[in-house]
Amino acid sequence: MIRSQAQAKYIRTSTYKSRRVLKQIQGQKYTDARLMLEFMPYKVCKIIIKLLESALNNIEQKSDKKIDKTEVKIVEAFANKGPVLKRFQPRAQGRAFPIRKPTCHINIKLEL
């Protein structure tokens, strides 16, 4: 049993939006998850596809022989909260409204 992981940090999306997609692929086979992500309409899907490929390449480097992608399973997929970028929007009469731009860290763990 070979395990590998990949991590993307400081992704400019909220953890809620990322978790919504990650819950769908958790526990799935690599090929099924990849197919699901390609047809989902969310921005974060492209980032997760890159991360999945990175984790798959990590597992191929650990293994001696060629890997069958249909046997690789996503064991864990989660998003943690990252730092919040704080900006201000100018408003009438010299006021300023805060704008919070959230970031997240996405982790994916695969198992062969």
76, 52 contact by CB (below 8 A):
no
Cβ(34)–Cβ(50) below 8 Å: no
Provide the CATH number for the domain around residue 27. 3.90.470.10
Domain count, the chain: 1
Compute the distance between CA of residue 107 and CA of residue 52 in angstroms, rounded to an integer. 10
Q: Which residues pair with 99 in a beta bridge?
A: 87
Residue 1: per-residue pLDDT? 82
Which residues of the chain are under the pLDDT cut of 50? Answer: none
Enter the pTM of the model: 0.86
pLDDT of 112 reads 85
Q: How far is CA 68 from the centre of its chain?
A: 22
Beta bridge partners of 109: 5, 76
Which pLDDT score, from 0 to 100, does residue 66 have? Answer: 81
* pLDDT score for 64: 78
C-alpha atoms less than 13 angstroms from C-alpha of 96 in its C-beta half-sphere: 7
* Residue 26 structural domain: 3-111
pLDDT of residue 47: 94
